[in-house]
Amino acid sequence: MNELNQQQFVEEEGMTLQELFKIVWLNRFIIILITLWVMVLGIVYTYVVVTPTYKAETSLIVQVDFESSDVSEQSALYIASNLIATYEEFVVSNLVLNSVIDDIDNLPEGYTKNSLQNSISISSSSSTLILYISVENESPELAIEIANILVSNSIDIADDDENGYLFLQDKLKVIDQAEEANLSSPNKMLNIVISVLLGGIIALGFVFVKELFNNKYQSATEMEKHLGVKVIAAVPGTIKERKLVE
């Protein structure tokens, strides 16, 4: 009896991690199956469900003309870099966006100022005076058109004397026009990788929850702990081997 007890207590120690791996190993087929299922869903989603969107990018520079004015080169650089943030807000202002929507005829139905605003992303780095403006759209042609009109309209509005946006006036110049639009989403590889990872996580979660809610005895130790009675024999599968007769 003592020998039995000692044996059990020794086994009880340090079992958790081992048990964890054991659970994973025993349920490996379920895990693989769930992972594959989620991956298939991810692939179907990526290739069938999601409408691909394209991204067109333009760039422009913010510069202050120091030759014709009396500011120094250093000050011009300083002023220009401070204007970048202003332009970033300016380009997505209602004034500019509305002018873009007015200028493009073949916008899809239900395309609003909001959807336009959401499709624009602006990036700049702090050490340069260059701004990158990209526009996403389901149609590559439209993405290019919107990007170019957005930039040119914003420059026109800023430069217009009547508007009197003095800080931005004559300070914007296009570097690159949008010429081609690249597929921006879905990122097929990433989606598949994510779906595999997600599938794995869901599968592991499922298996662990299943084990957690398993209300049947999986080991003599477990039975002993639960019942509070010594398990005096652990018999390997005998009942299972009973043959069905009659």
Binding site for another protein (CB under 8 A): 1, 4, 7-8, 11-12, 15, 18-19, 22, 26, 215-224, 226-227, 229-246
Residues 125 and 132: their CA atoms lie apart, in Å, by 9
Comparing CB distances to another protein, the nearer of 109 and 246 is 246
Q: What is the 3-state secondary structure (H, E, C) of 166-204?
A: CCCCCCEEEEECCCCEEEEECCHHHHHHHHHHHHHHHHH
Q: Is 144 exposed, middle or buried (0-12, 13-18, 19+ CB in 10 A)?
A: buried
| Minimum gap (Å) between residue 32 Cβ and another protein | 18
Q: Which is nearer to another protein, 161 or 242 (CB)?
A: 242
Q: Cβ of residue 29: shortest distance to another protein, in angstroms?
A: 13
Nearer to another protein, 122 or 223 (CB): 223
What is the dihedral angle through the alpha carbons of 211, 212, 216, 221, rounded to the nearest 10 degrees? 90
Tokens 């500019």 -> residue: 96
Least Cβ distance, residue 124 to another protein (angstroms) = 58
Measure the CA–CA gap between 104 and 118, rounded to whole angstroms: 17
What is the nearest approach in angstroms of another protein to the Cβ of residue 207? 13
Strand 53-62 and strand 130-137: the pairing is antiparallel
Q: What are the residues whose beta carbons fall under 8 Å from the beta carbon of 164, sequence distance 6 or more?
A: none
**Residue among 15 and 190 whose Cβ is closer to another protein:** 15
Q: How far is the CB of 14 from another protein (least distance, A)?
A: 12
Whose Cβ is closer to another protein: residue 11's or residue 160's? 11
Choose between 23 and 203: whose C-beta lies nearer to another protein. 23
* ω into 236 cis (within 30 of 0): no
- Contact of 51 with 140, CB cutoff 8 Å: no
Shortest distance, position 209 Cβ to another protein, whole Å: 17
CB of 7 to another protein, least distance (A): 5
Identity at 56, one-letter amino acid code: A
Nearer to another protein, 16 or 68 (CB): 16
Q: Which residue has the tokens 């526009």?
A: 135
